[in-house]
Amino acid sequence: MTDGIETTREGAVLSAAFARPEKKNAITSAMYQALVEIFDRTEQDASVGALVLSGKGAVFTTGNDIGDFLAIATGAPGSFDPRDFPGWRFLARLADFGKPLIAAVQGPAIGIGTTLCFHCDLVYAARDARFHMPFVNLGLVPEAGSTLLAPERFGRARAAEYLLLAEPFDAERACALGLVNEVVPESALLVHAMEKAAALAAKPRSALLAARRLMRGDPGAVKERMDREIEAFGAALASEEARSAFIAFMSGAKG
Mean pLDDT computed over 146-168: 97
Domains of the chain with CATH codes: 5-188+203-250 (3.90.226.10)
The pLDDT mean for the chain works out to 91
pLDDT value of position 65:
82
| Predicted local confidence at residue 233, as pLDDT | 85
- Coil, helix or strand at residue 14: strand
The values of phi and psi at residue 103, to 5°, are -115, 140
pLDDT in tens, 11-45: 999 999 999 999 999 999 899 999 999 999 999 99
Alpha carbon 232 to its chain centroid, in Å, reads 19
Question: Quick one: pLDDT band at residue 70, thresholds 50, 70, 90?
Answer: low
The pLDDT tens digits of the residues spanning 139-151 come to 899 999 999 999 9
pLDDT over 70 (residue 192):
yes
pLDDT tens digits, one per residue of 94-129 = 999 999 999 999 999 999 999 999 999 999 999 999
The pLDDT score that the predictor gives to residue 248 is 73
Rounded to 10 deg, the angle between the 86-96 and 29-44 helix axes is 30
The confidence band for 253, taking pLDDT boundaries of 50, 70 and 90, is low
CB of 158 within 8 A of CB of 255? no
Please give the biggest Cα pair distance in the chain.
Answer: 53
Give the pLDDT score at 255: 43
* pLDDT attached to residue 79: 55
DSSP 37-81: HHHHHHHH-TT--EEEEEESTT-SB--B-HHHHHHHHTS-TT---
80 band by pLDDT with thresholds 50, 70 and 90: low
Confidence of residue 77 (pLDDT cuts 50, 70, 90): low
Across the range 210-216, mean pLDDT stands at 96
